Structure 1
Amino acid sequence: MREIAKQSGILQALLHYHFRTKERLFDEVIRRRAAAISASHERLVDKLFVENDNPSLEQILGVFFSTSNVARSSSGNVPCSQLMTSVQMRADEPSKAVTDKYLNDIARAFTEAFRICVPGLSLDDAVLGYLLAVGVRAYTHTQNERASRLSGGAYGGDVLEQIVMKAIQFTRVCT
């Protein structure tokens, strides 16, 4: 808490007053960011279903990845987006608890949307598709230029858009 207060430029007593513990602070950070991302996802997916009775898997995945782009660009939130992504992939109890509490509803909504878009898609396959998409999104937040190094330079700079388009195409082929 001392280091968080120091880097935030606030008094540690103020941080303790509002959150009491770093676990409660962690919970609040994840709750706030998850609420914003989930609301954006939900609004965009609902809009797709209103405008098109049967949106394509590509459109649903476009929504999934578009919020990733918004999260990265808004207010310099790359570190926050990286935190949200890493929390979903960690196995420690606090991370699992906030993932279950704040992120599972929107994950279920996406898996259901996948199943609507791809008739006959099993729940297991929809969950796997969602997890693969989370993995791609996680990579896009690393900003380590690995795609460029692995591809001999075919991917360069901010590869988010390039990777998203390829992931959407790849997912369609796999379903």
Structure 2
Amino acid sequence: MSETSNVPQKQQDTQKAILDAAEAVFADNGFEGATTRAIAEKAETNSALIHYYFRNKESLFMAVVTRRSGSINERRRCLKNALFADGGRPELEELLDAFLRPTIELGRDEEHGGHNYARLLVHVASGMDERSRTLTSAQYNPAAREFIDAILSIVPGLSRKEAAWGYLQGVAVALSLMARTDRASELSDGECHDDDVEEVIARARTFIAGGIRALADQ
């Protein structure tokens, strides 16, 4: 039974509206620049309800990140586990697809606000403040370790040190491609199509796989 199964639908809708609004406001203004008043206005509710459901801005920010990171990590694990089911030994590109796809597809999902989380995640992942470091460690490091272990299991000669570097470079690529910017189309004079998610993922996994294999050959 899900945690929200006993919560009335109206309350679920209100909480979702607040989370969606907060995601957009945090993405636009950062944590420090965002206010609960601005979030309440965007959610078409009042600040009192925000404090009722989420206590304060800090807890609301954590809830925004946790909602999306949980979804991303769950899908990544499902895709990864399917590759290794029944003793399977996937190609590195297949494993990287399982890593990249949930992030990039979410970032391109403007209908459900994924593009806002794409912008917000860049700030969190690159942030040096204690809040960002704590969130990244808690929400993404456990899954990151699983993927590093998986990479080590299928790439001969790769040390954990190089696997960690390779994974982090993959994260950088994923973050840069998560939101549609049309820059690839501009730089290629229209040859690249930034709205083609399959092409974006295919190019990214090939690029990252080449880098990881090169690290193993050092």
Both structures adopt the same fold (TM-score exceeding 0.5): yes
- How far apart, CA to CA, are the structure 2 residues paired with 1:173 and 1:37? 24
Q: Which runs of 5+ in 2 are unaligned?
A: 1-35, 214-218
TM-score (structure 2 length as normaliser): 0.73
Task: Tell me, yes or no, if the aligned pair for 1:19 and 1:25 is still in contact at 8 Å.
Answer: yes
Secondary structure of the 2:50 match is helix
Shift of 1:171: 2.6
- How far apart, CA to CA, are the structure 2 residues paired with 1:134 and 1:146? 19
The higher radius of gyration belongs to 2
2:112 is matched with: 75
Q: Which runs of 5+ in 1 are unaligned?
A: none
Shift of 1:119: 1.8
- How far apart, CA to CA, are the structure 1 residues paired with 2:126 and 2:86? 33
Is the aligned partner of 1:91 residue 2:128?
A: yes
Letter paired with 1:14: L
Task: Tell me, yes or no, if the aligned pair for 1:140 and 1:160 is still in contact at 8 Å.
Answer: no
Task: Tell me, yes or no, if the aligned pair for 2:181 and 2:194 is still in contact at 8 Å.
Answer: no
Is the aligned partner of 1:3 residue 2:38?
A: yes
TM-score (structure 1 length as normaliser): 0.90
What CA deviation, in whole Å up to 9, does each residue of 1:67-118 have, x standing for no partner? Answer: 1244232724221233234311222221111111111101111111111120
> 16, 21, 25: which one pairs with 2:51?
16
Letter paired with 1:49: F
Moved over 6 A (4+): none
Tell me the matched-pair count.
Answer: 175
Once superposed, what is the RMSD of the aligned Cα atoms?
1.8
Spell out the pairing of 1:1-175 with structure 2 (5 A cutoff).
Answer: 1-51=36-86, 53-72=88-107, 73=109, 75-174=112-211, 175=213
